[in-house]
Amino acid sequence: MTPPQSKNFHTANPEFEQAIDRSIPEFAAAQLSDEDKYFKNHKPPVYLPEIAVEVQDFVKYHLEHSHKRIALVTSGGTTVPLENNTVRFIDNFSAGTRGATSAEYFLENGYAVIFLHREFSLLPYSRHFSHSTNCFLDFMTEKDNKIQINDQFADEMLQVWRKYNEAKDTNSLLLIPFTTVNQYLYTLKEISENLHIMKSKALFYLAAAVSDFFIPQSRMPQHKIQSSATQDGELVIRLAQVPKFLSRLVENWAQGAMIISFKLETDNNILIQKAESALERYHHQLVIGNLLQTRKKEVVFVTPGHHQENWIRLTDQEINDNVEIESKMIPAVIKVHDDWIAKNDNNN
Amino acid sequence: MTPPQSKNFHTANPEFEQAIDRSIPEFAAAQLSDEDKYFKNHKPPVYLPEIAVEVQDFVKYHLEHSHKRIALVTSGGTTVPLENNTVRFIDNFSAGTRGATSAEYFLENGYAVIFLHREFSLLPYSRHFSHSTNCFLDFMTEKDNKIQINDQFADEMLQVWRKYNEAKDTNSLLLIPFTTVNQYLYTLKEISENLHIMKSKALFYLAAAVSDFFIPQSRMPQHKIQSSATQDGELVIRLAQVPKFLSRLVENWAQGAMIISFKLETDNNILIQKAESALERYHHQLVIGNLLQTRKKEVVFVTPGHHQENWIRLTDQEINDNVEIESKMIPAVIKVHDDWIAKNDNNN
């Protein structure tokens, strides 16, 4: 829904030309030893037990009562606090549009959804009205000394509210926030291990923009010296690679689940190759490739095997009608999930 | 207004103990030559002319019709895009609470407000309902096939909506967004120069969290090599100081205006000293000091001259009653502004 009186520009949009640094090589997949080292050297968030209980209750409810499949949708960017100065941090550009929109279509297609999202990024349903350049009070008006939804927006808002309420009434949507990459990794692991019991009926839809580089807690004291201002007033920051835990997720934390990762590029010529290389490295089931500049109009599904690529595109008519590409993506994802479940059932 | 079903924690809050790096020395104030160099070497945002027109119209309207004073309130954190990869950037922790709340009290006290804010950070009035951990659709309900504001929240929302509408109807609130520190600096300069005509009736309330370090556009090609991954997989980022343009604002861009800056610390023992040192360096009229851990309960006004400090505090009763400290701060700021205007009138 377009809010009234929008400006003609967004200051937050990145420039496509400079969006992705190709001078940085692909990292190796994380091994069991990397996992041990990371979780031994980094403290879990204090609130993690609270989240564990919420997830356990949610999984138990759907296993025993609704018998729904569960999709874990990750969304938004993780941050890396700069040591000794947590008011300054490295962030990843992501409003959370892909994740929040996809979550709605999973819900509409009968899934329960755990929405692991960057705090204050877009949420399913509320996304239609938040993150406007103006004020959401513009959707309201006063009549007979009462505040009301402006007639102009009331019908669409009612439709969205009903879907949101349906998700709440059926206990089908669990919102779990993160901010830092450390919070994200611990929470992803916690949720994955609690979803293990769902076996192939669990689906991981990893749309979050996870940091490539961070400052390990273990080297903070050493690092403090390096990061202070140098003689000519410069600040030097040394960052280490974040272990590529997708391999651990596939092989261990969520073994048997259907796992989907995303590949965002700006150069169409290398998109497929990058997606295939991710499948080879992590051995998961599906990479959804997309270009920063066309990501709302077309995506490509790349699956294991030689040159398995399947483009999903909006037609010009659909673009004019404001059709969301996720309304076509998610049913296609679910078909792949159907096959995955059937294949796993046959193996048992 | 507290949204329903809030979680007990926020993932986005920084840790107080590590919030501010004291190993970095104070920078010198920017000279005219620094200004020339910066604006010669960095491109203005393409939308700047659009903003210039909005600001000119706004200032003209209030000069000729409302005769209101104008407060420029800056709010939220600026970002520093990392070169060759604009999807990754350094950010400053700030939800924009101080700025958005203060803007409301300036409006209530008869000022017109230009609200220069980080895009998608908190806005005056809508702040009461956004940035909740849950969905703003929780404030709504359905009755007779119509969407309505839940009775529980309707009265308070009506009060907020009326104030917001009053600000709109009287053309008293102009929202201007920024994201990067370069956008912020260009826009601040543009607005300042257009406010010059207001003389001492203009007030600058600089509550934004502006980046200390950035990557100059001029050295991007050179820098690209330095920032690629090293042999052991590390990423090294070299940042230069952002020129301290507060001196240019005071001496040139906004000469004659009342200028207020903020000093955020975590150590009470150095707060006053840091505030006084800022006044000595920049020669402006007021520093508002606050500690990260108590900033919603107490602030200190530090003015030029020996040991001029004036604490503003909420009583326990006021804290219980959810009184906002800005409701006491802004009237106190306005008193200082009254004196500034009187002093300038006498000099003419």
All structural domains of chain A: 34-228+235-346 (3.40.50.10300)
Residues 6+ apart with CB under 8 A from A146: B154, B158
Q: How far apart are CA B191 and CA B118, in angstroms?
A: 15
pTM above 0.90, yes or no: no
Residues of A in contact with B164 (CB under 8 A): 135, 137
The beta-strand segments (E) located in chain B are 70-75, 80-82, 85-92, 112-118, 140-143, 146-149, 173-178, 202-206, 213-214, 235-241, 258-265, 286-291, 298-303, 308-313
**B161 contacts chain A (CB < 8 A):** yes
Residues of A in contact with B243 (CB under 8 A): none
Element (H, E) at A140: strand A140-143
Q: How far apart are CA B131 and CA B126, in angstroms?
A: 9
What pLDDT shows up at residue A227?
39
DSSP B252: I
Dump pLDDT digits (tens) for A231-246: 567 888 888 889 889 9
Q: How far apart are CA B191 and CA B174, in angstroms?
A: 11
Q: Which among B10, B179, B229 is the nearest to A119, CB-wise? A: B10
Shortest CA distance from A237: residue in chain B? B237
Which one, of B288, B244, B22, lies nearest residue A229 by Cα?
Answer: B22
Q: How far apart are CA B142 and CA A161, in angstroms?
A: 8
**A202 contacts chain B (CB < 8 A):** no
CA A89 from centre of chain: 19
Sequence letter at residue B29: A
Question: Is B164 in contact with A213 (Cβ distance < 8 A)?
Answer: no
What pLDDT shows up at residue B295?
94
Residues of chain A with pLDDT below 50 are 1-5, 133, 221-229
Sequence letter at residue A281: R
In DSSP terms, A147 is beta-bridged to A142
Tell me the ipTM for this assembly. 0.84
DSSP A12: S
**B19 contacts chain A (CB < 8 A):** yes
What pLDDT shows up at residue B132?
56
What is the mean pLDDT for each group of 10 consecutive residues in chain B (348 residues)?
A: 55 60 65 86 93 97 98 95 71 91 98 95 87 70 92 92 95 95 96 96 96 77 41 77 90 94 90 93 95 94 87 97 97 97 84
What pLDDT shows up at residue A94?
86
